[in-house]
């Protein structure tokens, strides 16, 4: 469902709209919880890039995204119950 909503939002609002990135974050977290790290990593990277440019590297949301990405990259078999973006 998130995939479909993301596609719709991207086509209507553009790739870098904050609402699109919010949906991308929900999808990335969902994928992380399911263990689908191959699809989650590019989404987290996209979100992280947007956050670094628009809200800064030291912003709490940026740091949370960085933590989520690091968790996936360091432990591919991470616990699916991990707290995404927290």
Q: Out of 13-17, 27-31, 82-86, which region has the weakest mean confidence (pLDDT)?
A: 82-86
Q: What does the DSSP assignment read for 22-68?
A: HHHHHHHHHHHHHT-HHHHHHHHHHHHHHHHHHT-TTSHHHHHHHHH
Least Cα distance to 82 among 63, 68, 61, 70 occurs for 68
| Each residue's pLDDT tens digit, 52-66 | 999 999 999 999 999
Q: Give the distance, in angstroms, between the CA of residue 47 and the centroid of all CA atoms in the same chain.
A: 5
pLDDT band at residue 19 using 50, 70 and 90 as cut-offs: very high
Provide the whole-model pTM: 0.81
């Amino acid at each position: 469902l998130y995939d479909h909503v993301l596609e719709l939002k991207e086509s209507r609002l553009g790739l870098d709209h904050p609402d699109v990135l919010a949906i991308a974050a929900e999808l990335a977290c969902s994928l992380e919880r399911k263990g689908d790290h191959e699809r989650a990593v590019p989404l987290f990277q996209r979100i992280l890039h947007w956050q670094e440019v628009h809200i800064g590297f030291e912003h709490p949301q940026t740091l949370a995204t960085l933590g989520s990405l690091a968790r996936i990259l360091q432990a591919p078999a991470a616990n699916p119950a991990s707290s995404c973006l927290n």
